[in-house]
A and B are shown apart, each in its own frame.
Chain A
Amino acid sequence: MNASPAAHPDAERLRAYGLGQLDADQASAIEVHVAACQTCCESLVTVPDDQLVSLLRSAVSSATEPDADARSTLPPSEKQAEAFREQATLVHPAKSTSDLEVPPELAEHPRYRIVELLGVGGMGVVYKAEHRLMERSVALKVIDRSLTNKPAMVERFRREVKAAGQLNHPNIVHSYDAEQVGDMHYLVMEFVAGTTLARVVEHEGPLPIERACDYVRQAALGLQKAAENGMVHRDIKPQNLMLTPNGQVKILDFGLARVASETVPSLAEGDLRQLAADEKSRESLTQIGSVMGTPDYMAPEQITNAHAADIRADIYSLGCTLYFLLTGRVPFPTKGVFDKLMAHTEQQPTPLAKWRPEVPIELARVVEKMMAKNPEKRYATPAEVAEALEPFTGSKKPARRRLWLIAAAAALFAVLILGGVMIYVQTDKGEFVIDAADDSVAVAAKGQTLKIIDQDSKREYQVKLGAQDMRSGKYKLVATELPGDKEISSDKETFDIVRGGKTRVTVSFRSKGSNNAVIKKFNPVDAKPIARDGVTAAESGWKIEAKEQRENIPLFEVKDPGVDDCTVLYKAKIKSADVKGRAYLVMWCRFPEGEAFSKGFGNAIRGTTDWAEYQIPFYLKKGEKPDLIKLQFTFEGSGTVWIKDIELVRAPLPPQGK
C-alpha cells in the first residue's frame, strides 16, 4: 500500500490538510501521500494552531458545563486555576486566519522553534517559541512593520528594549533581546503562562475588591521599579497586565508601548474640540486608535503632549484599570476615539458606588485620586499608590472572619459589632448564621432570640424562631421591628436587611440534626461497587485501575435520595499512583422531568500519592429533586487510584448573593 506519488503537495495545501480544511476528496488524495512521506510529515508537525484548534483545546480544558451553577461548585482556588487552563493569551485574540501563518523568516529560525500563536495585537503578532537547544520557552513578538519602517524608529526600539531589559522585577515581563531577521524585527520575552486581566474580567466579571486591589497594587510595584530607572510605560491597561496561575501580575510591553505611542504625531497644545475640526488632527486621533488600541485608559496629558507625559500618566491609566477591574466597565464607555479622548479631558466617570455600592468610600477616593485630570493632583509615585491600596488587598486578614458565640440562656445580651464577619450563634436548637456585609450592625443574643441593631438607620429588629418544618426540620424565622411588636417578616427561612438595593445582613438558622445529614456512606463491608472490572476492595476502601483511554467507572447509586433545595456534598479520601491525564470522582443527578444529565464536578487528582480529602458541593435549587444520584470515577488517562470514606452528605444551601 505504499502508493507514494512523487510530487509533494505545496506548503499551503499541506497546511490546509493538516488542519482538516480540505474537502474529504482532496484530503484523501493527500493522505495517501502523507502516510508514506517523511518530509511532509516533518512539516505537518510544525503547522501552527488555527482558531478551531485553539477553541477545541480551550473548550476541553475549561471543562465546565456552561452552567453558572456548575461553575459555582468549584472552590475559589479551583475556579482560579480553571481560568488558566485556557489557552495562554498575551494580547488580543487573533484578527483573522491570515494572521496565523508564521513568517518564513521565523519558521526557519536557527535558534527558536515556533510552538504556537499566542495572540495578535496592535503592535504585532506574538508567538510562543522554544529555544532549540536550551528547551526554554520564550514569547516572540514580531513588531508590526508599520512601526519599524524608519531606521530612526528601529534605533529607538533597540534602545528602549535594552533599557527595559534592565528591569528585573517580579511584576514586569522580562524582555531578553531585540532581534532582526531580514527586515523583520522581533522581541524575545519571558514566556508567561497565564491570561491578561482583561480576559479574567471577561471570564469572571467584575473582580472581588481584594483581588482587584491586590492586582493593581502589584502592577504599581512594577511601575515603581520602572520609575526608579527613569522609565514610563505609556500604555497601562488590563490587556497589558498578565496574571499568572499563582496570582502574580506582570506588566507587558515595557519600552515597546512608549515607542509606539510616539509614532503617533502629537497634537498641538490647545483646545481638543477645536482640533477635532481640523482634518489633520482628526487623522492623528484615528492613528492613536490604530496603534494603541482604544484610548480607554489614556491620561489626558498624553493626548496633547505625549512626550511630556511622565510616570503619573501611568498612574492615571492604572486608576482606569482598577475602575475596570471593579466594575467590568471602562470609565468612559462612549463610542469613538474622539469622544473617549474628550471624556478623559473633560468628564468625570460614573461614580464607582453606582456599580459597586460595597466599594468603601476610602477606596473610591484612591481611584479618584489616581484618575485626577491634573497630574499634580494624583499620587506622585506608584509606590504611594501601592501603599494606598494595601489596606484593601485583604493581605492582613482573611476576607471573612468567623466568630462563634454561645448564646447565653441567662438574661444578658452579648453585643457585637459586625464588620464583614460571619457570625454563628449557637443555641440548644441549632445555630443562627449572621452574615453582615458592613460594620454598622450590632447583634445580641439571648436564648433563641436575636437582636439586630442597624446603627445607620437606628432601627432595631428582633429575630426569633418560628414554626419548624416537619419534613426538613428547618425552622422559619419571625422578625419584628422594635419597639413594639410589628411583625415584618415571618415564615421565611432567612431575614434580610436591605439598604440601597443591597442586602447588608442576612440571618438564617441551621437547626441541629437536620444539617449535614449523611445521606449514605459507602464502605467495603456493606457496599458493592457497580463496576465489576478494575475495582477491588483494598485499604478499607477500593482500588480502581484504568489501563488506558477514557473510562467511566460506575461506583454507587442512591435511588430517591429525597433531597432538594439544599447542598449535596460528596466526600471521599483519594490517593493515586502513576496517574496520567486526569482522574476524578463525578456525581450525576438524574431528575424525573428531564433526561439524566451530568451536573457534578470533576476534581482532578494531581499526583497525590498520599490520602487527600475531597469535598465537592453540588447545589440543588428548590424543585430540583433528583430521583437518582450516581457516583462514578472517571479516568481520562491511565493509572491507579485508591478511594475510601465515600459519603453523600446533605447540607444547607449557602446564603444567596455570594
Chain B
Amino acid sequence: MSQTSATLLNRLRQPGDDSAWKTLLDLYTPLLTSWLRRYSLQTSDVDDLVQEVLAVVVRELPRFEHNRQTGAFRSWLRNILVNRLREFWRDRRYRPTAGGSEVEALLEQLAKPDSDLSRLFDREHDQHVARRLLQLAEPQFTSGTWLAFRRHVLEGLPAEQVAAESGMSVNAVCIAKSRVLQRLRQESRELLD
C-alpha cells in the first residue's frame, strides 16, 4: 500500500491539522451517537460518551497502524467504543432502563468481531463514512463532473446515456468517474480498507 501523505488518517497524524480533526468529528459523531443510542442511554450521556470515544481516538491515533486486514480501522474504533462503554457501565453512572443483562449481552456481542452486531456496525460504518466522504468531495469538483459521476457511478446509468443527457462525451464521463473515484479512494485509505 503506497503511503500517500494526503489521506485523512495521515493528515490526522500530523499535529496541528485542524481541518482534518473537524472532518473526523464530522464523520464520526453521528455514527457513534446513533450506536450509543441503541444502548438506551440518556441523551446527555450519549454526547459525553461520544466525546470520550473521540478523545481516545485523538490520543491513540498516532499509535494506530493498519494491519492490512480489511476493516482494521473500524475494528479498532469498535474496540474503543466497547471499552468506553464497559468503563461507563462499571462506574454505575448509568441506570439501565432495559434489563442490565441485556446491555451486557449487547456489549459482549459488539466485542466479538464476527458477531451479527459487529457486522452491522461494520456495515453501517462503511456506508456512513462513504456517504459523508461523498458529501465532502462534491464541492471539490465542477458540477458537470459531479453530475456525470453521480448519474453514472452512483445511480448506475450507462455511460452512454449519461453522456447523451449531459452533452458530454463518453470519454469525459469515464474521466469524471476516474477522477472522483481517485479522490474518494485516497481520502478513504485506511478508513475503509
Contacts and interface: CB of A to CB of B under 8 A. Distances in A.
Contact of A59 (B127, B171, B179): B127
Contacts of B158: 45
A424 to B, nearest CB: 26
Contacts, number: 123
A27 B175 CA distance: 10
Contacts of A623: 42-44
A300 B139 CA distance: 58
A597 B192 contact: no
B180 A62 contact: no
Interface in B74-119: 99, 116, 119
Interface stretch (B13-21, B29-37, B54-62): B29-37
A205 B120 CA distance: 9
A36 B178 contact: no
B181 interface: yes
Nearest to B166: A548
B171 A41 contact: yes
B171 A55 contact: no
Contact of A52 (B31, B34, B119, B192): B192
B170 to A, nearest CB: 5
B178 A17 contact: yes
Nearest to A204: B120
Contact of B31 (A38, A66, A205): A66
B188 interface: yes
Contacts of A548: 147
B30 to A, nearest CB: 7
Interface string A92-131: 0000000000000000000000000000000000000000
A53 interface: yes
A31 B182 CA distance: 12
Given A23-B2, A45-B159, A66-B30, A53 B171 contact: no
Contacts of B174: 18, 34, 41, 44-45
B124 interface: yes
Nearest to A31: B175
Interface residues of B, number: 51
Label chain A's interface by main secondary structure. helix
A56 B170 contact: no
Q: Name, among A20, A27, A37, A624, the residue most crowded by chain B CB atoms within 10 Å (CB to CB).
A: A20
Nearest to A17: B178
A327 to B, nearest CB: 10
B153 A56 contact: yes
Given A202-B119, A501-B99, A34 B124 contact: no
Given A17-B178, A41-B170, A328-B116, A68 B123 contact: no
B119 A18 contact: no
A602 to B, nearest CB: 13
B154 interface: yes
B43 A35 contact: no
Given A65-B30, A66-B30, A67-B37, A56 B184 contact: yes
A237 B138 CA distance: 41
A239 B47 CA distance: 38
A65 B131 CA distance: 9
B2 A20 contact: no
Interface in B142-180: 143, 147, 153-156, 158-160, 170-172, 174-175, 177-180
Contacts of B4: 23
- State the 8 A-B residue pairs at the shortest beta-carbon distance, nearest first: A20-B181, A20-B182, A59-B130, A67-B34, A59-B127, A44-B174, A66-B124, A66-B128
29 contacts: A20-B183, A20-B184, A20-B185, A24-B182, A31-B178, A41-B171, A41-B174, A44-B159, A45-B158, A45-B174, A53-B181, A55-B126, A56-B134, A56-B153, A56-B184, A59-B126, A65-B34, A66-B30, A66-B125, A66-B127, A68-B34, A70-B34, A202-B119, A205-B120, A329-B116, A548-B147, A549-B147, A581-B155, A623-B43
Given A52-B192, A59-B134, A593-B47, 10 more contacts: A20-B184, A22-B182, A27-B178, A41-B174, A52-B185, A56-B154, A59-B126, A59-B128, A66-B30, A597-B30
